[in-house]
Amino acid sequence: MTDTLQHLLAVQDLDTSLTQMQHRRDALPESSGLRGLETELGALEARRTDANGRRAQLGATQQALEEQIAGITERRDGIEKRMYAATGAAGRDLQAMNEEVRHLTERRAELEEQELEAMLAQDPVDAELSALAEQMAPLQARVEELRATLAEQELQIDAEMAAAAGTRAAEAALVPTALSDRYETLRARLKGTGAARLIRSHCDGCHLELSSVEVETIRALPPGEVATCEQCGRILVPV
């Protein structure tokens, strides 16, 4: 085997290793576990968002009622002060003011009842939010744990890939451009394998047997001449 073909096989082996490392990185068990937990947390978060929205609406309703009650109370107190101060007022005027006080008192009672209902309606929502928080806490802790583990493993694989890529670049630089271009074209078309070893009488790329005549022809080629598998078309290197 010529040095050129040795370097080409080294490039192919490194490309295979890089593909395997990328696959290993993509298929880390922690990654699928993390996705499952994130999906579960996402569903719980959606429920919490909905509950928070209902809680905020109830709170806004309570606040609006409190403001109305305060306004009615202020208005009623003002009328009562006028009644107490109006010692010489006509009976009709006093009766009108008294009627308005009564009306305002009834209206305030109605609003206070609505305010109480709004306050009581918040209790089950608060309980729901509390239960969701209890469900989410351990899941969030597990997610953080998995993220840390995953990041560590990915960092380790990335370092391995960077080292392999550096070695690959050095080996590829020793392969003639024409042969390198041919290899890259084949590799893109043949699922990542552009060059294969001829082991005894079979191609290590497609794993098919070559005819004895073809094997003898390949092994008799002069140094530097490149052979091709008659079955799959890959660059074939006898070993």
pLDDT in tens, 170-189: 999 999 999 999 999 999 99
CATH number of 26-158: 1.10.287.1700
CA-to-CA dists, residue 51 to 38, 54, 175, angstroms = 19, 5, 64
Q: State the span(s) of the chain assigned CATH 1.10.287.1700.
A: 26-158
Residue 234: other Cβ atoms inside 10 A: 24
Of 81-95, 136-150, 176-190, 212-226, the poorest mean pLDDT is in: 81-95
Tell which residue, 200, 217, 216, has the closest CA to residue 208: 200
C-alpha 177/C-alpha 88 separation (Å) is: 114
- Residue entry with tokens 């290590």: 204
Region 91-101: what's the mean pLDDT? 85
* pLDDT over threshold 70, residue 87: no
Tell me the one-letter amino acid at 40. E
How many CA atoms lie within 13 Å of 37's alpha carbon, on the beta-carbon side?
A: 19
pLDDT, residue 93, reads: 78
Paired tokens of 57: 């609406």
Does the structure show a pLDDT above 80 at 141?
yes
Q: pLDDT by residue (tens digit) across 221-235?
A: 888 789 999 999 999
What CA–CA distance (Å, rounded) separates 156 from 134? 34
Within 13 A of 186's CA, how many CA atoms are on the CB side?
Answer: 22
What integer pLDDT is reported at residue 1 of this predicted model? 63
Best CA proximity match to 19, nearest among 193, 230, 232, 135: 193
For position 134, what pLDDT does the model report?
Answer: 97
Q: List, in order, residues 6 or more apart from 113 with CB less than 8 Å away.
A: none
Instruction: Return the amino acid letter for 156.
Output: Q
Q: Where are the beta strands (DSSP E) in 122-214?
A: 195-199, 202-203
**Contact of 192 with 19, CB cutoff 8 Å:** yes
CA 181 vs CA 7, 82, 87, 175, 188: distances in Å: 14, 100, 109, 10, 11
Give the mean model confidence (pLDDT) for residues 49-72: 97
Residue written as tokens 């395997």?
A: 20
pTM exceeding the 0.75 threshold for the entire prediction: no
